[in-house]
Amino acid sequence: MFQTFKGNNNSEDVVREDLQHAIVARYIRFIPLYWSQKGRIGVRFELYGCSYWADVISFDGHSIISYRFRSKKMKTLRDVISLKFKTTTRDGVLLYGEGQQGDYILLELRRATMELSINLGSSQDNMIQGHTSVTSGSLLDDGHWHSVVIERYRRNINFTLDHHTHQFRTNGDFEHLDLDYELTFGGLSESAKMGFGGKENFVGCMERITYNGDNITSLVRRKKVDTSSF
């Protein structure tokens, strides 16, 4: 966002300017365009922000958060999952869910690259495998905040990392994601470790975790989800 501000023309008056839109930024850069010809060049400024509430959850590599479904099974045609994270470790599971029919969704860091794996079901009759895996980004262990958004409608998926979107279609013939009991954040459940052995838990911070309209970080703060292993 670019915006031009007009300063004062003497050394006493104070000029106040407001941004046109609210922003969340890591850096703000000021570029002088021109200055008064009546005296010395100088600049002094102060920045005033507004209140910003962020629920940040820290993971130590031994803890996971379990988001239990209201019913034992969740069968969805559309999903929207989003979160922000920062870490200095190269590997770790951010999100996992599985179903007894073989469906699963797995979001993890592998060698500082984000990888999304999803399976909507495999057809044994036609020998069609439903497993689909897509990678995005690099050097994501830099200790800075990164954002992830997963948008799925049937077999079509938009996988967005830091505003860069990868569009793809899942393999197989099925369109629903059938999950049982829960989604876990920060690592694998005990039952999943048998099928995905060797995967490390996430070490770092997450915020703004949402799943299909539910604010998971807010639920954690209000103790509405299972944090017994957290």
The type of residue at 214 is: D
Query: What's the pLDDT score for residue 2?
Result: 77
Query: What's the pLDDT score for residue 52?
Result: 67
Query: What's the pLDDT score for residue 124?
Result: 67
Per residue in 107-126, pLDDT tens?
A: 999 999 999 999 998 776 66
Query: What's the pLDDT score for residue 126?
Result: 60
Query: What's the pLDDT score for residue 125?
Result: 64
3-state DSSP of the chain: CCCCCCCCCCCCCCCCCCCCCCCCCCCCCCCCCCCCCCCCCCCCCCCCCCCCCCCEEEEECCCCEEEEEEEEEEEECEEEEEEEEECCCCCEEEEEEECCCCCEEEEEEECCEEEEEEECCCECCCCECCCEEEEECCCCCCCCCEEEEEEEECCEEEEEECCEEEEEECCCCCCCEEEEEEEEECCCCHHHHCCCCCCCECEEEEEEEEECCEEHHHHHHCCCCECCCC
Q: Which residues of the chain have pLDDT under 70?
A: 1, 38-40, 52-53, 124-127, 195-197
Which are the contacts of 52, defined by CB distance < 8 A and separation ≥ 6?
24
Per residue in 125-159, pLDDT tens?
A: 666 789 999 999 999 999 999 999 999 999 999 99
Query: What's the pLDDT score for residue 75?
Result: 93
